[in-house]
Chains A and B, each alone.
Chain A
Amino acid sequence: MQKFLFDINRDRDVQRQFHADLPELLGRYALSEEERRAVETRDIGLLYVLGANGQLLMHYAAFLGMPWADYIAAMRNGISKHGPVRAGVYAMTTRLDEKVADV
């Protein structure tokens, strides 16, 4: 999952393939069923909970064209729906109803 996000964030050929043939692109990576579903449904919240590196995920959300407030909300919704972040150092420490920077 991290490798997919790393590649798509910096490689324009991978970005083109994302739009042209997503199943083929995802076939190149060792993704769990849950990770694959999160990518296919553009579920930023689930990717966040699964432990996607925060910087990779932020750039990926920008690639998907998500406005800032929607991206922040998607991560909070992910926590609300799937529970705490499962891996990595990008855990949430604020409350679900806390709008830290007014978003």
Chain B
Amino acid sequence: MSLVFAGVCSHAPGITGRTHMADRAVTDEFYGAFRGMADDLAAAKPDALIVVAAEHFANFFMNNMPAFAMGTAESYEGPIEDPRWLGIAHTTIPGNASLSLRLACEMMQTVDLAYAEEWKFDHGIMVPLSFLTPRYDLPVIPMNINCQGPPLTPLHRAWALGEALRRAADLVPERIAVVGTGGISHWPATPDSGKINEPWDREFLRRWQINDRPALLSYTDEATYREAGQGGYEIRTFISIAAAAQGRGRLRYYRPIPIFAVGCTVATMSIGD
């Protein structure tokens, strides 16, 4: 039928794995914003949720790294991480192979999409799902943009991916929701974990909310690495959502939570014409 919901959110493993190390009042507000996004997602009555993630060498590795990939399986499993460490039990998540293939066929008219019938979810997808579809009862279609192993997918190609996703979603009879997951500035998985460049994040989110394509695509990887860390490469997922939604963003929550290693973000975007 069409794209019926678009949003972005953080996916850092600390969000579910290190709750006990964070301030309860802070996490209550953050988790509340996440649940608010889940309520809006449910209200949109989607038939499937596409998660555009920046996974972390869980499936795609330097032996064969696609710029873009889409899952085409009937079901997925996750998390790959130790469930106690992540705070999310191991589970099976339903997919929709037929829908994946129809979307992929259309998207491949303009972007070269890898596809995978085997895909294990890491925190990049599991953390958002644990809030958005905690009963794992909505079919999920995973997508990945290479934000991990340079040479990375160029930003303008992440935009092109979002445009292709929108075109494909509007052509299928199902109601499609799409959520991009990732960090803005952060230095995860290093001793710097917890370092966050809040002004950089707020400027990025300003550009994202007004859907300023030239400004969103003007970042260089060199400057992003310097100012926003290697985690900043994940802005690609947010950019693809702006391209897919073609609307205006609403920032529902942003706050640096150092023990979660990221400026925790929950935002939705209207669906433009």
Contact = CB atoms under 8 A, between A and B. Distances in A.
Interface of A: 2-3, 6, 9-10, 48, 53-59, 62-63, 65, 68, 72, 75-76, 79, 89-94, 100-103
Contacts of B21: 68, 103
Interface string B150-183: 1000000000000000000000000000000000
B219 interface: no
A54 B61 contact: no
Nearest to B148: A55
B193 A100 contact: yes
A14 to B, nearest CB: 12
* 6 smallest beta-carbon distances between A and B, as pairs: A101-B194, A54-B189, A55-B56, A101-B258, A62-B85, A100-B194
Contacts, number: 90
Nearest to B82: A62
B261 A101 contact: yes
A69 to B, nearest CB: 9
B188 interface: yes
Nearest to A74: B191
Contacts of B62: 2
B: interface residue count bin: 35 or more
A94 B192 contact: yes
Contacts of B230: 54, 89-90
B190 interface: yes
B57 interface: yes
Interface of B: 13-14, 17-18, 21, 56-59, 61-63, 80-82, 85-86, 120, 122, 148, 150, 187-195, 225, 229-230, 258-259, 261
A10 B120 contact: yes
B259 A9 contact: no
A75 B191 contact: yes
Contact of B259 (A56, A62, A94, A103): A103
Contacts of B261: 101
A94 B195 contact: yes
Contacts of A93: 187, 190, 192, 195, 229
A72 B193 contact: yes
Contacts of B86: 62
B187 A53 contact: no
